[in-house]
Every structure is written in C-alpha cells, then in structure tokens.
A and B are shown apart, each in its own frame.
Chain A
Amino acid sequence: MTRLAGFWRYCRWPAYACTEASQIVELAISLPLLMIIVVGITDFGTAFNLKQNLNNAVREGARSASKQSMQDVTNPTPLSTDAIRAVIDNYLLAARVNDCGLSGAVPSKSVSGLIWTYTASSGCPGGGTLTLIVDRGNTFQTGSPPPTTIETTHIQISYPYQWRFGRFIKFFVPTANYASGVTQINGEAIMTNLN
C-alpha cells in the first residue's frame, strides 16, 4: 500500500507522466466494448440468417403447394399437406436449422376451412415452439370487372430464436434486460393453387 501511494505521487506530475501498463487499462476498457459489438453482430447476424432461411423455406413450401393435388383436402391429414410440410422441413434441415421435430409432427385441422397447423417443440431453442400453418384455402378477390376469387396456399412459420446477447451483456450490466430470452421470428408466403 505504501508502495502504491508512492507510485501515485510519482506519476501524477506531468513531467513524470507514467505510461507503464497503460495498454492494459485501455484493453480493459475497450475489450468489453469490442466483445459486446462482436457478440451483438453475431447474434443479430444469426437472427437475420434465420429469418432468411425461414423465408426461403416457406417460399419453397408455397411453390410445392401450388403444384400439389387438391383432391385429398377433405382428409384430416392429407398426403398433399404432409408433402408440403416435408419440403419445408427438408429445407430447414439442409440449412442446418434445428427443425424442433417438425418431421414427426401431426397436424391439427381447423374446424372450418382448409387450415392445418403443425407444432413442434422437441429440442427447440430456448424451450420454445415452432409453429407451421398451411392454409390451402386462402382466398381473396382480384380487381374488377369482373372480380375473380383466387384460391391460394398461405404458409406461415414461427420459429423461436434464443438471443445470446442478453446473457452476455449481463456480465457487465447485471441488471440489463435487453435481447434476452426467446423471440419468435416469422416467415410467410402465398402462392396460387395451380391444380
């Protein structure tokens, strides 16, 4: 303690400005900031990448749906809808996205309409749930005259994204509550039923 006080007295005079170990101090200040930035970039980049993969997956699903048969949609679990699910699931797996067990999910059909909902939560990030909705009877009208009612397939996916930034920032600011937990990232696509 006596030596430290002496060092301080020695260094506080400009003529004897002390630079020893200043890099350590600078590193101590800048490294956390740099790490925050790097982790932030990685975390948001991963989230964007997931968003892109979900968009692509539902687009592939919608393209497949546009060619699928409509002749089995009176079934509770039609083969045609399952084929659409398989296309989306295969895309996710090929993109190295955890499919949360979507491949084995059994759909539930809406009471009215042609909407099938798949939910999967096996090993999902953050203990969340993947939800895939395949609406084979989504309709809307064109402009007139005369208006035509177009029947399309509307596919929506909702995927849980587990933020890492929130856990990291707590090292430095224990009370921080930013970008923590799970956020559902969504994707959707609509394409005309061609068959």
Chain B
Amino acid sequence: MTLLIVAVSMFAMLSMAVLALDVVSLYVAKDQAQEAADAAALAGAEVLELSGTTSVPLSVPLSSVCNGSSAKADLWAQAVAAQNHIVGVSPTTVTTLCPTSAPAHNPYIRVTVSRGGLPTFFSRIWSGGAISVSATASAEAYNPSFDAANPGGPPIQIHGVKPWLVSNCNMCGLAEPLYFDSNYAIARGGSFIGQPVTLTLITSSTVPTVPGPPAPPAPPLPSPTAQFYALDGPAPLYCPSSSAVSCGQIGTGTPGLNYHDNIACENGFNFSNGQLVGPGQTWWVDTRSAGNLHARTIPGTTCLIHADTVGSGLGQDSFTVGLPVTITGGYNNPNPSLRLVDGIHRSDSVVTVPVFNCPSVGTCDGTAQLPIVGFLQLGIQDVTATGDLDAVILNAAGLDPASTGTPITGAGASPVPVRLIHQ
C-alpha cells in the first residue's frame, strides 16, 4: 500500500517537475518572441524615418512605405524578425500594420510575431494542438516639425550632429526661407527633400556685414545651394582609426581645434529645441581656424565618408536623387559586405546638420548668438577641392523652441527619432 502511494505521488511530482520545465521553456520562448518583435518594429520604423514620409507625407504617403504586406517597412520588419530565432527557428508568422490614424509626422508600425509548434514534454498530454507563443511591439518615427497637425509637440534630443551650421536664409529676401518657415514647419512644401544641394562655407570674405545675413544669391526652388558656418565645440567621443582611409589627420590637430575632428567623429553633445550657437554657448562659429577652414573641411569629410580624396565616386557611398533615395555602398565602406552593393540601409555618409535663422538684420556675421530652428538630414556625396559639400537632403525637422515636455530621443543622430512605444 505504502509503495503504491509513493508510486502515485512520485508520478505526480515528476509530472509537476516536467510541467514546470514546459512552462519555463515557454517563458524563454515568449522572451525571444518579444525580442524578435522589438527588433522588427525598430527596423520597420527606420524605413518610416528614412523614406521621408514624416517630412513630406504628401509626396511619400505612409501607404507607399507600409501596407501590411509588401512595402519597404513591412519587408524590413519581416527580414529582421526572421533573423531573430525563437527556440531555434524563425518566427512562423510576422504581421505588420501602420495605422493610418497616426499623425503624418508621427507614424508608427506595429509588428506581431508568433512561433507555433513549440516542443513540449508533458503538456502535450492534455493539449492536442500545437503550443505557440506570440509577441507584439510598436515603434514610431517622430518628426518634430511644427504644423497644424502637430501644435506644440514634444521636443527632441539628438547627438552626433555635424559642425556645419546651415543658413535658413530667412532674411535673404526670399518669398519663403530655404527650409523652415516662421512656425518651424517645413517650408516650400518640402520640395527640397530628396533633392541635391551644394553647401558652401561662409568665410570672413563672404559674410556680408551690412545689411547682415549670409546672403547667397536668391536661389530658384528648390535651392541647389546653401551656405554654412563651420562650428567649433567640444571634443568628439567616437573617432575612426587614424589609419583608416583618408583619416590620417583625425585626432592629430592642435588641441582645442575640434572642427575637422567633429566632422569625422561622433560628438556626444545633446542638441534639443531652443539650442543657441554663439558666444557663451557650447558651440560657436569657428574663429580659431580662420583662414584654414576649407583645408580642414576636406580631410574631415573625406575621412567621414571613406573617400580616397575629393570628388565623387572615390570609395564613398553614393545616393540617388529623388524620392525614394537609395544608397549604394562604396568600395571603401568599412563593412566588406556592403561594398559595391546597391540598396544598403545605412551609411556613415548620412549626417544631421543644424539650421539657423538670422535673429535680425545685421546680426548674422557669426559673432552673435544664432538660434537653431531645425535640422537637415543629409547624405553626403562628396567634398570638392574648394571645400564645398555635395549632398542629398533626406529629411527636415523643424524645432519649435517653445516645445516643452520630456524630449524624445531615438537612435541618436537622426533628427527623426525612432523608438519603441506602447501602442
């Protein structure tokens, strides 16, 4: 009798032990499913960012980049989910959805992954069907540009901004400023997104002192040219090796002269809405490199974009013109798997630069404080022998200095932050 009781209880105990194994292994699978969903959602949201739909939703409607099955955001999410294994194999189903009810400047993607046919030990006794786990994650892309649909949206905070302070040309006598209007909305209907631009350095010889603003000739729309000030600021954090292509001068300059290092490297300073540049600020128009700015722009930029030297097609990644912009890996791309590959998803040549307004006539000679009114995301094509920058504009993000609340931070350097959200 006693042995019978022991046998029965032993069976019960063993059953509980094996059931516990089942439950724990399901928890592990659930965790892995969540990991896959998170990664997939972030990949999908990156398409929302890079496609330009947050900047020009009329030209690039959300449905063209995310339709729940075969658009770019869907494909990226599916591909990344498939790489994250759940109990040893890819998710069995991946569904994506970009709700059209979300604001055009703030779309998000919801990804659900599931994995069926999970191996179990004991629970199969009472469950004839396959055991499965699923997980859902959502990620957004947020463009802070002020417009009627985004009154007083939260500020953003990004780092890794390049030391090229681009003029908005708000006092150039144009019908509209180049990039951002007085409401910090994207000017000209965003017609410059996806278009090429040549940035030229403002030097002491080109800065007009009277009547004031740095004044390029009134450009046609969209403007193929713009001007920038070189910025000086704190030393950068992450620098390429000085033995990398065209990086021999990085980190070797006079201490304190950080302009060209900040081009090639990533700076950790956080920019947010309302940031000023100028005397008394962390960043100011570079006066210490006077007379040498062109020469310092070239090595910094060739190192950044991995070009052999000045000019196009010399090892750096290249960008197509027009939406959607695509990237082709150059033969010097640090990742051998991306060299000479059409349609790569990211590039070191994609940078974010600040855009400033002239506060008033006569105060734009670089000695006054200049307000940053937005960011441009650029794909740098090349640097010329005269230190000009050829680029394609990928995104624009206006910054309302009156925005309040907790700043939205994303991956770091993009002016359209991407992040996971609860939805």
A residues adjacent to B (C-beta < 8 A): 22, 26, 29-30, 33-34, 37, 40-41, 44-45, 48, 51-52, 55-56, 59, 62-63, 66-67, 69-76, 78-80, 112-114, 137, 139-143, 146-152, 154, 188-195
Contacts and interface: CB of A to CB of B under 8 A. Distances in A.
Interface in B77-123: 78-80, 83-85
Given A113-B337, A114-B334, A151-B335, 9 more contacts: A37-B13, A55-B31, A62-B39, A71-B239, A75-B239, A149-B341, A190-B80, A191-B42, A194-B42
Interface string B387-399: 0000000000000
A188 B87 CA distance: 11
Q: Is the interface of A mostly helix, strand, loop or mixed?
A: mixed
Contacts of A137: 334-338
Given A151-B345, A189-B84, A33 B10 contact: yes
Contacts of B266: 69, 71-72, 195
B28 interface: yes
A92 to B, nearest CB: 16
Contacts of B249: none
B72 interface: yes
Interface stretch (B208-216, B354-362, B378-386, B412-420): B412-420
Nearest to B44: A192
B338 A149 contact: yes
Interface stretch (B19-27, B186-194, B281-289): B19-27
Interface string B246-262: 01000000000000000
Contacts of B367: none
Interface of B: 2-3, 6, 10, 13-14, 17, 20-21, 24-25, 27-28, 31-32, 35, 38-39, 42-43, 46, 70, 72, 75-76, 78-80, 83-85, 160, 237-241, 243-244, 247, 264-266, 304, 326, 329, 334-338, 341-346, 348, 410-414, 418
B412 A195 contact: yes
Contacts of A78: 238
Given A139-B335, A142-B76, A148 B345 contact: yes
A140 B335 CA distance: 13
Contacts of A34: 13
A3 to B, nearest CB: 26
B334 A148 contact: no
A74 B244 contact: yes
